[in-house]
Structure 1
Amino acid sequence: MLISHALPDLSIGATHMGYADGLFDLSGRVVLVTGGSRGLGREMAFGAARCGAEVVIASRTSEACAATAREIEKETGRAALPYAVHVGRWEQLPGLLDAVHERFGRLDVLVNNAGMSPVYEDLGEVTEKMFDAVVALNLKGPFRLSVLAGQRMAEAGGGSIVNVSSTGSVRPRAPIVPYAAAKAGLNAMTEGLAHAFGPTVRVNTLMCGPFATWATRHWQDDPEALAAGVRGHALRRIGDPREVVGAALYLMSGAASYTTGATLRVDGGMP
C-alpha cells in the first residue's frame, strides 16, 4: 500500500478527544488565507490558528491585515503575518510567497478566498474594465497563486489548496453573471490542478452559499429580499460566517487526506 504522506492517528484505540484533535490538528503548519482580514476569510484564519497553525493574512488593505493578525496572535498565541497584496495582479504574487517562506520557511495550506462581485442594475452596465477586474480577482489571480504555491508544496512533499467558490457558479443569476462565470472557472481549475499537483498536493473547492458578510449587506438590509433569497434553502436562513470553519478545516487538515478534486458545498441546502 502506497501512502505518500503522514496521516493523523486514526487508530481504534485513540481516545475520542485525541482522535478529533489528531484529525484536525494543524500544529507546525503554515496557512495562507487571501481575503483574510474580513468575512469568511477572517473566520477561516482564526480557525486555522485555533487548531495550531501559523497564519498569513493577505488582503489589499495593510491596516486591516495587521489588525486581524494582532487579534489572532493575542487570542491564540500563534504567529500571524499580515501582507498587503492585490490577488488580481500577477506581478504581486511571487512577492507574497517569498515573504511567507522568508518568515516561516514553508507553506502548507493556501486558501484562495479573495473575491468580489460588483453590483449592477443591468447587464448593459457591465464594462470591460469591470468584467476584467472580476475575472482577475476571482479566477486569474487564484490560478497563478495556486500554481506558484502548488509547485513549492510539491517540491516540499505535500500541501493543500482550498479554492473558495460560490453556489452562484452552478446557479447563476442575472445580477452576478461575470462573478458566476469566474467562479465556475475556479471549479474547473480545482479538478485540473488536483491532477497536476497530485499525488502529494490536494486541491479542493469549498463552495459557499449565502453568508452574513459585507458581500451580502444589500440583502441583510432588506428583510424581505433576504427571506425570498433563502426561502428555497433547506435551512431557510443565511449562514453565520463561523459556520464555514468546520468545512474549511476539514479540507485544510489531515482529516481530508483522501479528498482531492472535490467540491464541498456549504450553503444551507441550496435547491
Structure 2
Amino acid sequence: MAAITDLSGRVAVVTGGTRGVGAGVARALLEAGAEVVTCARRPADQPVEAAGRTARFLPVDLRDGDAVAAFFARVSAEYGRLDVLVNNAGGTPYRPLREGGAARHSRVVELNLLAPLTASLAACEQMRSRPGGGSIVMIGSVSGSRPSPGSAAYGAAKAGLENLARSMAVEWAPDIRVNTLVLGMVRTELSHLHYGDERGIEAVARTVPLGRLADPAEVGDACVFLASERAAYISGASLLVHGGGERPAFLDAAAGD
C-alpha cells in the first residue's frame, strides 16, 4: 500500500494504537511515511515500530473530554498540524445482556461510541483550521449490522458509530472526510480470548469465504488508503474489510439434508 500512497509529512493519531488492530494501523501509517502518535491509558510493553521508525505514545483517557481536547491541542502544537485520526480504541468482553446490569453495558457504549465522538470533535477543532482539512477513519464492526449475542451493547455502539460517521461527513465537508472501516474477524494476540485455542481459531476462519481471519496489517492498508489522496472523493462511506463476510447458514443446512 505504501507504494501507491504517500503520507510523508502527514501527522496521524491512532487511538488504542499500542496493540492488535491499532498497532497494525500505526505500522501501516509509519510505512506510508506519516508521523504517528498513538494513545491509550497505558503504554504497550513494546513500542510500535515499522520502516525504521517508531510511533510516539502519549497517555490519555478517551472518556475524559478535557484531557482529550488537551491531547489533540498538544499534538497539533508540537507537530504543527493534524491530518489523520483513526478511532480504533474499543472492544468488549463477552457478556449476555441479562448479566452485569445496565451500568456495565453503558460503559461499553461509552468506549465504543462516545469516546470516538469525543476524539473526533477535538480533532476537528485542529483539522479545520488548516488548509486541506483532514481525514477521520472510524474502526467499525460487522457486529453493527447483525445480531451480536453476548456483545449486544458493542454491536449497538458500532451501529451508532457508522451512522455518526455519515453525519460527520456531511456536517464537516468539505474540510474533513469521515469514513468507516467495517471489520470482520481479525487475528491478533487476543484472538484466543474470543475463539479459544488454535483449533478454535482455525475453525472460525473456515467460516470466512476467504478462509482466514484478517491480519492487522491489512486493516492498516485500508486505513492508509482512506487517509490518502487516493480517497480524496470518498467520504461518508463504509468499507467492508471482512473477507467476504459470513457464509449463510442455510447453505450448510441444505447441504446436510
TM range, normalised to the smaller chain?
0.7 to 0.9
Post-superposition CA distance 1:40-78 (Å, at most 9, x none)? 11111111111111110111113x18x425x35xx4346
User: In the alignment, what sits opposite 1:150?
Assistant: 124
Shift of 1:185: 0.5
1:47 aligns with 2:28: yes
User: In the alignment, what sits opposite 2:193?
Assistant: 218
Runs of 4+ in structure 1 off by over 4 angstroms are none
* Residue of structure 1 aligned with 2:224, choices 249, 253, 265: 249
* Secondary structure at 1:265 match in 2: strand
Structure 1 length-normalised TM: 0.83
User: In the alignment, what sits opposite 1:7?
Assistant: none
User: In the alignment, what sits opposite 2:179?
Assistant: 204
* Secondary structure at 2:209 match in 1: coil
Which shows bigger deviation, 209-218 or 92-101? Answer: 209-218
1:189 aligns with 2:189: no
* Secondary structure at 1:129 match in 2: helix
Which letter maps to 2:47? Answer: T
Q: Evaluate the alpha carbon distance shift between residue 29 and residue 183 of structure 1 in structure 2; reply closer, same or farther with a 3 A threshold.
A: same
Give the length in aligned residue pairs. Answer: 245
Which letter maps to 2:108? Answer: V
Shift of 1:231: 4.0
5 Å matches for 1:122-201? 122-157=96-131, 158-201=133-176
Conserved in 2, the CA contact under 8 Å of 1:57 and 1:68? Answer: no
- Tell me the percent identity: 38
* Secondary structure at 2:151 match in 1: helix
C-alpha distance in 2, partners of 1:118/1:94?
Answer: 28
C-alpha distance in 1, partners of 2:126/2:170?
Answer: 16
Conserved in 2, the CA contact under 8 Å of 1:219 and 1:225? Answer: no
Shift of 1:127: 2.1
C-alpha distance in 2, partners of 1:27/1:111?
Answer: 17
Post-superposition CA distance 1:86-132 (Å, at most 9, x none)? 22332321121022013201100000000011222x32113223112
What is the root-mean-square deviation in Å for CA atoms of aligned residues?
Answer: 2.1
* Secondary structure at 2:24 match in 1: helix
Unpaired runs of 5+ residues, structure 1, are 1-16
C-alpha distance in 2, partners of 1:160/1:129?
Answer: 33
Shift of 1:134: 0.8
* Secondary structure at 1:117 match in 2: coil
Which letter maps to 1:48? Answer: L
Conserved in 1, the CA contact under 8 Å of 2:191 and 2:201? Answer: no
* Secondary structure at 1:181 match in 2: helix
Unpaired runs of 5+ residues, structure 2, are 247-257
